[in-house]
Amino acid sequence: MLDKLGLQLELSKTEHLYRSRKVLESPQSVEPIINGKKVLSFCSNDYLGLANHPDVIQCFKKAADQYGVGSGSAHLVSGHSAEHHALEEELAEFMGAERALLFSTGYMANLGVVSALCDRHSEIYEDKLNHASLLDAALLSRARRIRFPHVDMEHLGKRLTQSNSENNKFIITDGVFSMDGDLAPIDTLVKLANKNNATLMVDDAHGIGVLGEKGRGVIEHFNLDNKQVPILVGTLGKAFGTAGAFVTGSEDLIETLIQKSRGYIFTTAMPAAVAAATRTSLQLLEKESWRREKLQSLISQFRKGVSELGFELIDSMTSIQPIIIGSSEKALALSEKLLEKNILISAIRPPTVPEGTARLRITFSATHTEEQVDKLLAILNEVTIE
Ligand SMILES: *Cc1c(COP(=O)(O)O)cnc(C)c1O
């Protein structure tokens, strides 16, 4: 088996699907130093510019002095610090939920929640464009999986009514789709879940911090509450600018996860200093609504400019503004040309996105300037004409 790996790697290169890492030599920012040179980046998920915020760094340092670096064990053993505990309470209050529970990553939160709640007698209805971690979570749970076409509510409604009424039904969706930036129709999903006695779970990794006046994400955008979306996952590595994830829900849901979720129980707690830093970024995220307003104005500027250039845009109001290119070869070539002009945008290719929809996934941060967006538009124009 191992002897074949070299051949498979060569093949992925000829298909323009080979992936490689660039080395970052600066903090995450809109102008990071990558592979030794300063570039203008449009591909970070640090949507609010908090990853390198002085107050967040200050809290991180202070907590490291107080708690050290490693948390030393899992939450249920001896790793659950006062900082973790306070952050959970603050996140629950922010989201308007009874309780919140921290996980070490969003990937693990999804695996941990779905596999704790679903088994062979469950049915999981998933949007075809759900994040890989949700798809993996459903596989791990051994539930029967039903994948519906992207945001096709009619199709989902039909499939739900055809199902075996004895089974526990779960509808699981991204709030904001990570490679397209469009929103799931959460209001319709709430109705379908109620009508069919199904449980709705939303992963709002890209919505929290970005959508809603207070930054509560899709639930605020659709004017819903935590009873209507009884299981909600948020991540801390994106708009929060730190690392980790959380789940919100009822007292019973959270206590059940503490008892049963393997992705919670069998892993080391995130460092206490990360939790402390996140408490500060939560305050900034909630209070500084100018970051969301600035982001929206940069997004409008970009969408207007790029449609004048004749590119096809996805109907997205979020920081994620992909330009669909089609072939992996072309998307990769464009990304390389952009890098020659010091613009960093990664080419997203299958299997991350469906065949034939390779794209430049452009993302914006509140710390971009209007001039930087103009520069992006000018250079996009240049490289696509060349
Ligand atoms: C990034 C992301 C995750 C994973 O979160 P991590 O904390 O990076 O592991 C989960 N779901 C969605 C939709 C994401 O975009």
Same structural domain, 92 and 163: yes
Mean pLDDT along residues 290-299: 98
Does residue 235's CB lie within 6 angstroms of at least one atom of ligand 1? yes
**How far is CA 184 from its chain centroid?**
13
Query: To test ligand 1's pocket by mutation, which of 43, 130, 131, 180 has the most ligand atoms within 8 angstroms of CB?
Result: 131
Q: Look at residue 37 in the predicted model and tell me its pLDDT.
A: 94
Mutation to probe ligand 1, out of 203, 267, 278, 363 (largest number of atoms < 8 A from CB) = 203
pLDDT value, residue 310: 86
pTM above threshold 0.95 = yes
143-172 CB burial, b ≥16 within 10 A, e <16: bbbbebeebeeeebbebbeeeeeeeebbbb
Query: In the structure, what pLDDT confidence band is assigned to residue 27 with cuts at 50, 70 and 90?
Result: very high
Q: Which of 268, 287, 306 is the last residue of a domain?
A: 287
Q: Which residues are catalytic?
A: 178, 206, 238
Whether 2 is in a domain gets the answer no
Q: Give the pLDDT confidence score for residue 386 in this predicted structure.
A: 62
Among 46, 133, 173, 182, say which to mutate for ligand 1: greatest number of ligand atoms within 8 Å of CB: 133
Tell me, yes or no, whether 184 and 269 share the same domain: yes
C-alpha 73 – ligand 1 centre gap (Å): 23
Angle between helices 370-385 and 328-340 (to 10 degrees): 120
Q: Whose CA is nearest to atom 6 of ligand 1?
A: 106
Give me the percent of the chain exceeding a pLDDT of 90. 95
Q: Work out how many domains the chain is built from and give that number.
A: 2
Mean pLDDT over 73-95 rounds to: 98
Note whether residue 343 is domain-resident. Answer: yes
C-beta atoms surrounding 69 within 10 Å: 10
What local confidence, expressed as pLDDT, does residue 113 receive? 98
CATH number at residue 81: 3.40.640.10
Q: Which of these ranges, 8-17, 163-172, 233-242, 253-262, has the smallest mean pLDDT? A: 163-172
Last residue of a domain, which of 261, 287, 313?
A: 287
Ligand 1 geometric centre to CA of 131 (Å): 7
How remote is the C-alpha of 257 from its chain's centroid?
A: 21
Identify the pLDDT of residue 312: 82
What per-residue confidence (pLDDT) applies to 150? 97
The whole-number average pLDDT for the span 254-276 is 98
Query: Does residue 363 have its Cβ closer than 6 Å to ligand 1?
Result: no
Q: How far is the CA of 109 from the centre of ligand 1 (A)?
A: 9
pLDDT tens digits, one per residue of 2-19: 999 999 999 999 998 999
pLDDT (average), residues 316-333: 94
Ligand 1 geometric centre to CA of 110 (Å)? 9
Task: Write the DSSP assignment of 28-93 as a string of letters.
Answer: SSSS-EETTEE-EE---S-TTS-TT-HHHHHHHHHHHHHH-S---S-IIIII--HHHHHHHHHHHH
Domain range for 202 is 54-287
User: Nearest Cα to 274, choosing from 302, 237, 308?
Assistant: 237
Main-chain phi, psi angles of 213, to 5 degrees: -60, -40
Best CA proximity match to 317, nearest among 301, 296, 286:
296
Confidence class of residue 280 from pLDDT cuts 50, 70 and 90?
Answer: very high
Residues 37 and 148 in one domain: no
Tell how far the Cα of 227 is from the centroid of ligand 1, in angstroms.
23
In a domain? residue 227: yes
- 93 and 149 within one domain: yes
The last residue of one of the domains, among 267, 287, 307, is 287
Work out which ligand 1 atom sits closest to the CA atom of 206: 15
Residue 48 resides in a domain: no
User: Above 80 in pLDDT, residue 165?
Assistant: no
The residue-averaged pLDDT of 179-198 equals 97
Cβ of 361 closer than 6 Å to ligand 1, yes or no, is no
Taking the centre of ligand 1 as the mean of its atom positions, its distance from the CA of residue 164, in whole angstroms, is: 31
Residues 300 and 175 in one domain: no
Residue 222 covered by a domain: yes
Going by alpha carbons, the residue nearest to atom 14 of ligand 1 is 205
Q: What is the dihedral of CA 136, 116, 174, 30, to 10 degrees?
A: -80
Where residue 371 falls among pLDDT bands split at 50, 70, 90? Answer: very high
Q: Are residues 322 and 339 in the same domain?
A: yes
Is the residue at 1 inside a domain? no
- Same domain assignment for residues 238 and 294: no
- My answer on whether 261 and 378 are in the same domain is no
Residue nearest to atom 10 of ligand 1 (CA): 106
pLDDT tens readout for residues 113-149: 999 999 999 999 999 999 999 999 999 999 999 999 9
Does residue 5 belong to any structural domain of this protein?
no
pLDDT at 99 over 90: yes
Shortest-distance Cα residue to atom 5 of ligand 1:
106
Note whether 174 and 151 are same-domain residues: yes
Q: Mean per-residue pLDDT for 28-39?
A: 95
Place 167 in a pLDDT band, splitting at 50, 70 and 90: confident
Instruction: Please work out whether the CB of residue 205 comes within 6 Å of at least one atom of ligand 1.
Output: yes
239 & 140 share domain? yes
Cβ–ligand 1 contact at 226 (below 6 Å): no
Query: For residue range 207-228, what is the model confidence (pLDDT) as tens digits?
Result: 999 999 999 999 999 999 999 9
pLDDT bin (cut points 50, 70, 90) of residue 311 is confident
> Residue 361 maps to which CATH number?
3.90.1150.10
Same domain, 303 and 325: yes
Q: Is residue 4 assigned to a domain? A: no
Task: Calculate the average pLDDT of the chain.
Answer: 96
37 and 147 belong to one structural domain: no
